């Protein structure tokens, strides 16, 4: 489906460079420190608005230009598109659960990886938690799918 | 005179550390996303890595979807890039390692909720918050408004309960 064989040799290099800049930005913005996120959520320092706003505006401009002016990405041949996901109840349920988690920890996935990079080994607790949480939801999805199949079969 | 001072005081109260580090950091996060997007057409979020990496170790159907199997290798490279990029920041600007004082049980328990919530909700702060908002996606705007409001309420409640940090 993803046609790995169509990847240009520079594909992984570009992913790595993009990740490096992304991670450096998370470090520079201090968002990799849970305390800074918690200070934002507690209205003690609203600077985080500029992190998320600055990043969203930058990608917004690039997405808008690429989807109107450019055709296909050079390294994969993929057409440029925007990130449009379908809306359903899960978007709200997931948002609430993530919100509680973000409010408790002050950390989100990307910032957690960057936090490890700035030497914050304590963040491994949060990264372990995220892996556990992502496993649990996949386990529950499989169980409810099984339950659904069993119900359908017995009907 | 007090009228002239008021905006300055308010700004200092709202942004006690200024805005330069935040704005420049946010711009760089956007540039990193844009480099990957312009080169590959891929809109990279950070939380899918959690599930796509599980596919190496688990047979659960959710993890073994084609879109995860087809992206799990570059998602590891992307995540390693994030770790290394932050490490470069730490060496150049921070002058060594920094560790949090937030208690381990907050990180672990909250981390579990982040892992569940970002995957059930189809994205995280980078997927919905940066790329989805940058796409002016209504789904992402609703998700971000939801997790932002709940996170503010949660953090203030935890603080009010006397848990610091």
Residue A119 has pLDDT above 60, yes or no: yes
Question: What is the nearest CA distance from B18 to chain A, expressed in angstroms?
Answer: 7
- Over 60: is that where the pLDDT of B3 sits? no
Count of all residues that appear for chain A in the document: 155
Mean pLDDT for all residues in chain B:
95
Comparing A93 with B7, which gets the higher pLDDT?
A93
How many Å lie between the alpha carbon of B10 and the closest alpha carbon of chain A?
A: 12
> Considering only CA atoms, which of B20, B26, B125 is closest in space to residue A25?
B26
Q: What sign for the dihedral angle of Cα B54, B60, B62, B66?
A: positive
Asked whether residue A155 carries a pLDDT value surpassing 70, the answer given is no
Q: Which of residues 14-53 of A touch B (CB under 8 A)?
A: 14-35, 38, 41-53
Cβ–Cβ under 8 Å, residues A104 and B158:
yes
Residues of B in contact with A15 (CB under 8 A): 36, 40, 42, 44, 74, 77-78, 81
Average pLDDT over residues A66-86: 96
- Closest residue to B15, CB basis, from A12, A47, A133: A47
CB-based burial of residue B95 (10 Å sphere; 0-12 exposed, 13-18 middle, 19+ buried)?
exposed
**Gap between the Cα atoms of A15 and B130, Å rounded:** 17
Chain B nearest C-alpha distance from A142 (Å): 7
| pLDDT beyond 50 at A15 | yes
Per-residue pLDDT at B1 exceeds 60 = no
Contact between chains at A41 and B96 (C-beta distance less than 8 A): no
pLDDT of residue A151: 64
pLDDT at residue A2, as a whole number:
47
Pairwise CA distance, residues B49 & B55, whole Å = 10
């Amino acid at each position: 489906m993803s046609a790995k064989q169509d990847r240009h040799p520079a594909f992984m290099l570009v992913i790595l460079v993009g990740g490096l800049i992304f991670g450096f930005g998370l470090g520079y913005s201090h968002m990799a420190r849970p305390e800074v996120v918690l200070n934002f959520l507690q209205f003690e320092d609203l600077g985080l608005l500029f992190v998320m706003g600055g990043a969203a505006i930058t990608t917004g401009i690039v997405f808008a230009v690429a989807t109107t002016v450019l055709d296909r990405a050079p390294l994969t041949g993929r057409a440029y598109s925007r990130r449009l996901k379908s809306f359903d109840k899960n978007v709200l349920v997931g948002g609430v659960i993530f919100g509680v988690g973000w409010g408790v920890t002050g950390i989100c996935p990307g910032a957690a990886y960057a936090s490890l990079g700035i030497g914050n080994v304590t963040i491994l607790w949060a990264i372990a938690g995220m892996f556990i949480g992502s496993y649990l939801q996949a386990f529950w999805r499989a169980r409810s799918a099984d339950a659904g199949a069993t119900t359908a079969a017995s009907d | 005179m007090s009228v002239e001072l008021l905006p300055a005081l308010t700004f200092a109260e709202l942004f006690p550390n200024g805005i330069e580090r935040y704005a420049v950091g946010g711009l760089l996060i956007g540039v990193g996303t844009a480099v990957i997007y312009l080169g590959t057409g891929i809109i990279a979020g950070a939380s899918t890595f959690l599930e796509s990496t599980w596919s190496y170790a688990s047979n659960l159907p959710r993890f073994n979807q084609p879109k995860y199997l087809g992206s799990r290798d570059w998602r590891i490279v992307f995540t390693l890039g994030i770790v290394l990029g932050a490490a470069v920041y730490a060496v150049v600007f921070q002058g060594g390692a920094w560790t949090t004082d937030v208690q381990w049980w907050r990180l672990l328990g909250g981390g579990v909720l982040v892992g569940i919530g970002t995957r059930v909700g189809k994205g995280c702060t980078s997927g919905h918050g940066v790329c989805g908002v940058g796409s002016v996606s209504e789904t992402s705007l609703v998700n971000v408004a939801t997790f932002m409001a709940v996170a503010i309420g949660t953090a203030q409640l935890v603080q009010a309960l006397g848990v610091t940090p």
